[in-house]
Amino acid sequence: MTASDSIPGQDRYWMQRALELARRGIALCSPNPVVGCVILDRAGQLAGEGWHEYDRLDHAEIMALKAARRPIPSEDLRGEAADRMAVDRVRGGTAYVTLEPCCITGRTPPCTQALIAAGLARVVAATIDPNPAVAGRGLKALQAAGLQTTVGVCGDEARRLNEGFARWSRSKRPFVLMKAAMTLDGRIAPPSAGALHGGFSPLKPVPGEQKRGKPFWITSETSRQAVQQLRWQADAVLTGIGTVLADDPLLSDRSGQRRRRPLLRVVLDSALRIPLDSKLVKTAAHDLLIFTVSSDETRLRELTARGVRVEVLDADSSQVPLGQALDKLGAEGILTLLTETGTRLNTALLAGGFVDRIYFFVSPQIMGSGAVPAFDGLDGSIAMADVEVERHGNDLGLTSLLRDPWPSVRTA
């Protein structure tokens, strides 16, 4: 096995193609990882390619092998001869796969066995599998069968695609992506929204101030479209009761792109204050989950009758325990959780060390000290390394990884 710093251009080229294929599985794979695969014949020509979608069962490697083995139409070959030639095409060839091939039996047999049986000479993996049950064992199985293996080609891009799977595989909790829209001075709402977004009171009325149940847009339409992309890529989106009371959000995926299961909308509501006529409750179809510590049987029945799922958690205080909520979501196979919360929950999530990646949409305006801050009461600073910057119209998108979910040894 090699993990060379000098990666041939051909390896990069074909791994980039495998990554393109893997992206076709976004929102269609969870709770499995997003994986793409390209297979070349022994002459270095494209023989087959594939990607994984959960409902199709077959992993990317199997899809690519099946594509490679389809008989090639020829006037000189028919029947068994054509089938034999199709099978022989991949012998001595190379497979490029964005994630280490699995060596365990799950819903399907191990992909390592299929690659070995196909007679491939080489397998190039972008990264090892973060699942402790695999984590390097797949590559070792291929080596033991005589295949050459290379790992690390386009590894950063491949790991970025499966941050949710990596976090869930190792902790059985979702990868938490905190999204916040704010001004240059770190404000998320005008003064009049203060009592609803974490207990801040307005200093004085301002023109165009927020009214209860009416969202106040800080960022541009272009930024809001980018948020829809984040929702599309997530399994669930979480907010707090303060945001629900202030904005009456729908929290739906309006990207228009395919997804395997509905976006799970999650609300932390310790006292079950969510209005029965809120947009969330009125559109609930067992895709709205409320975590609470309340035992109000009347409210529980009212919400359940409207298609709302309610989980009553054990707590020593009046607040919903964040760790328990994440454990519950992980048990449901939620790999990526997008948070769209107000001051109190933003602060609690960061202070508790629950946030894996942040994505801030920053609008070029200053709202003033009386407006609602994105965070309040953080004990100490939080450093953001390797910040990526994007433009969304006149806004800036800033994202940074706070906690790397991948194993520290990435080349097995």
Residues 6+ apart with CB under 8 A from 273: 241, 245
Side-chain-facing half-sphere of 227: CA atoms under 13 Å: 22
Residues 108 and 105: their CA atoms lie apart, in Å, by 6
pLDDT exceeds cutoff 90 at 215: no
Q: At what angle are helices 9-23 and 60-68 packed, to 10 degrees?
A: 110
pLDDT exceeds cutoff 70 at 85: no
Residues 351 and 382: their CA atoms lie apart, in Å, by 9
Residues 326 and 356: their CA atoms lie apart, in Å, by 13
pLDDT exceeds cutoff 80 at 72: no
Task: Say what the alpha-carbon torsion angle 387, 393, 394, 398 is, to the nearest 10 degrees.
Answer: -10
Average pLDDT of the segment spanning 127-142:
93
**Can you give the pLDDT at residue 87?**
56
**Can you give the pLDDT at residue 383?**
86
**Can you give the pLDDT at residue 319?**
93
Going by pLDDT thresholds of 50, 70 and 90, the confidence category of residue 81 is very low
Residue 50 identity (one-letter amino acid): G
Residues 6+ apart with CB under 8 A from 32: 52, 54, 165
pLDDT exceeds cutoff 80 at 198: no
**Can you give the pLDDT at residue 105?**
84
Looking only at the bridges linking them, the beta strands covering 395-401 and 388-392 are: antiparallel
Residues 401 and 294: their CA atoms lie apart, in Å, by 34
Burial classification of residue 411, based on how many CB atoms lie within 10 Å of its CB (0-12 exposed, 13-18 middle, 19 or more buried): middle
Residue 230 identity (one-letter amino acid): L
**Measured CA distances, 316 to 293, 313, 319, 321 (Å):** 9, 10, 8, 9
**Chain length of the chain:** 412
Q: What is the DSSP letter of 277?
A: T
Going by pLDDT thresholds of 50, 70 and 90, the confidence category of residue 271 is very high
Residues 384 and 341: their CA atoms lie apart, in Å, by 20
Domain architecture of the chain: domains with CATH: 9-161 (3.40.140.10), 172-401 (3.40.430.10)
Q: Omega into 31 within 30° of 0, i.e. cis?
A: yes
Q: What is the DSSP letter of 381?
A: -
pLDDT exceeds cutoff 90 at 53: yes
Q: What is the DSSP letter of 2?
A: B
pLDDT exceeds cutoff 90 at 8: no
Catalytic residues, by residue number, are: 61
- Are 3 and 150 contacting, i.e. CB atoms less than 8 angstroms apart? yes
DSSP 3-state assignment of 109?
coil
Residues 209 and 197: their CA atoms lie apart, in Å, by 14
From the CA atom positions of the chain, what is the Rg in Å?
Answer: 25
pLDDT exceeds cutoff 60 at 338: yes
Going by pLDDT thresholds of 50, 70 and 90, the confidence category of residue 144 is very high
pLDDT exceeds cutoff 90 at 89: no
> Both tokens of residue 56?
């199709």
> Both tokens of residue 281?
């409750």
Query: Helices in 248-367 by DSSP H: which ranges?
Result: 279-282, 297-305, 322-331, 343-351
Question: What does pLDDT average to over the chain?
Answer: 89
pLDDT exceeds cutoff 50 at 201: no
What pLDDT digit, counting tens, does each position of 168-179 carry?
Answer: 999 999 999 999
Average pLDDT of the segment spanning 250-271:
97
Give the lowest-confidence range in 69-78, 273-282, 360-369, 387-396.
Answer: 69-78
Residues 6+ apart with CB under 8 A from 261: 30, 235
What pLDDT digit, counting tens, does each position of 372-404 carry?
Answer: 999 999 988 888 888 999 999 999 999 999 999
Residues 282 and 306: their CA atoms lie apart, in Å, by 8
pLDDT exceeds cutoff 50 at 210: no
- Are 48 and 66 contacting, i.e. CB atoms less than 8 angstroms apart? yes
Residues 6+ apart with CB under 8 A from 75: none
